[in-house]
Amino acid sequence: MTLYGYRLPAMSSLILWGLLWEAIGQMEVSFFVPPLSEVIVTLFEVVQTSAFQKALWETAYAFLAGVFFSIVIGIPTGILMGKNRLIDELLLPWVNIFLSVPLTALVPVLMVLFGFGMTSIIITTTLFAIWIIILNARVGVMQINRSLVDMARSFGASPWDAFVKIYFWAALPEILGGVRIGIIRAVKGVIIGQLLISIVGFGALFELYSNNFLMSHFWAVLLVLFALAFSISELLAMLERRVAYYAAKR
């Protein structure tokens, strides 16, 4: 978007929306919408409280653990599915089902099986992230140019060489794409898990603030959370772009 010859940077409209928020807040249209300036002041107070830091730590822990498990289990499973037709045909229906099914419905089961704590949240996070990682790793391996495989074989590559020097790199753009979407889903999963299980992390914090009608606290935490999620997603997109140059050229 250009204005009088100036190119407006992407996302700069958020400033406009922020101003609108401030105006609505100042006009006291709704009790639920405090002015942005007030929210930001609160934000700096909130982030220093131990309750916030504890919630952040608990969330980060569950998130990282969930992402770790979904990557460590997901990528090899996907590669295996891409390489072996029988395994693929046995697993693919389930991967597709769990990719699009409302996983929120499974959280109550996790709660009764694994208790109301960290374990359930980590499993929820993993369940949100893993399927797309599996699926993308599978697609990445399956679309590898046949000629590349033939080429490696014609030079007598060992299976290990072929894997390390061809398969992994050739599938890397798709794998990274899957990991990026998986991580974004994990952010959602960890929050949904905390909301439903609700005695840990931000789930507990939101409960506390909304029960006490601390609106600017609530918004402050929400802002932090959204900003974190957005930064993670942008960072991953940036990483992905670094290998994109060869994704289209295979």
Partner 1 sequence: MAMPQTKPAPVATTDIAVSARSVSKTYGETEALRDMTIEFPRGQLTSLLGPSGCGKTTLLKIIAGLLEPNSGTIEVNGKPVTGPGEDRAFVFQDFALLPWASVMRNVAFGLELRGVAKSEREAIAAKYIADVGLKGFEKSFPHELSGGMRQRVGLARALSVNADVLLMDEPFSAVDEQTRRKFQEDLLSLVQNENKTFIFVTHSIEEAVYVSDQIALLLPRPSRVSEIIRPSGLRMKDVDNIRRDPEYLDTVDRIWALLRSYVE
Partner 2 sequence: MTDQSQRTLATAASQGRPPLTKPARRDFFGRLTPALVKHRPLVLKLVSAAVVFGAWEIAGRIPVSYAFPTFIESMAALWSMTVDGSLFVAYGETLKPLVVGILISTFIGVAVGMWIGLAKWADWLFSPIFIVMQAAPLAALIPLLVMIYGIGLTSKVFVVCIMAMPVIVLNTAGAVRNTPSSFIEMGQSFLASRAEVIGKIILPAASPVIFSGLRLGVSAGFIGAILAELKITPTGVGDIISYSRSVADYASMYAAIFSIIVLAVVFLNLLERIELTLFEGNARGYASD
In DSSP terms, which residues pair with 7 in a beta bridge?
2
> Site for partner 2 (CB under 8 A): which residue of 73, 196, 243, 244?
196
Sign of CA dihedral 101, 107, 109, 110: positive
In 84-214, alpha helices (H): 85-100, 107-114, 118-142, 146-154, 159-161, 168-197, 201-211
In DSSP terms, which residues pair with 3 in a beta bridge?
6
Under rule CB under 8 A, residue 169 binds partner 1: yes
Nearest distance from C-beta of residue 250 to partner 1, angstroms: 6
Among the listed ranges 87-95, 128-136, 160-168, 177-185, the one in contact with partner 1 (CB under 8 A) is 160-168
Nearest distance from C-beta of residue 21 to partner 2, angstroms: 12
Which residues inside 48-87 make contact with partner 2, applying CB under 8 A?
86
Instruction: Spell 93-120 as b/e; 16+ CB within 10 A means b.
Output: eebeebeeeebeeebeebbeebeeebeb
In the three-class reduction of DSSP (H, G, I as helix; E, B as strand; rest coil), residue 116 is classed as: coil
For residue 12, what is the enclosing H or E element? none
Nearest distance from C-beta of residue 10 to partner 2, angstroms: 7
Compute φ and ψ for 6, nearest 5 degrees.
-90, 135
Binding mask 102-141 for partner 2 (x = CB under 8 A): xxxxxxxx-xxx----------------------------
Nearest distance from C-beta of residue 144 to partner 1, angstroms: 11
**Cα end-to-end span (Å), the chain:** 34
Nearest distance from C-beta of residue 94 to partner 2, angstroms: 7
Q: Which does 232 bind (CB under 5 to 8 A by kind): partner 1, partner 2, none?
A: partner 2
Summarize as ranges the residues that interact with partner 2 (CB under 8 A): 1-2, 8, 10-14, 16-17, 30, 32, 86, 89-91, 93-94, 97, 100-109, 111-113, 184, 187-188, 190-192, 195-196, 202, 206-207, 209-210, 213, 218, 222, 225-226, 229-230, 232-234
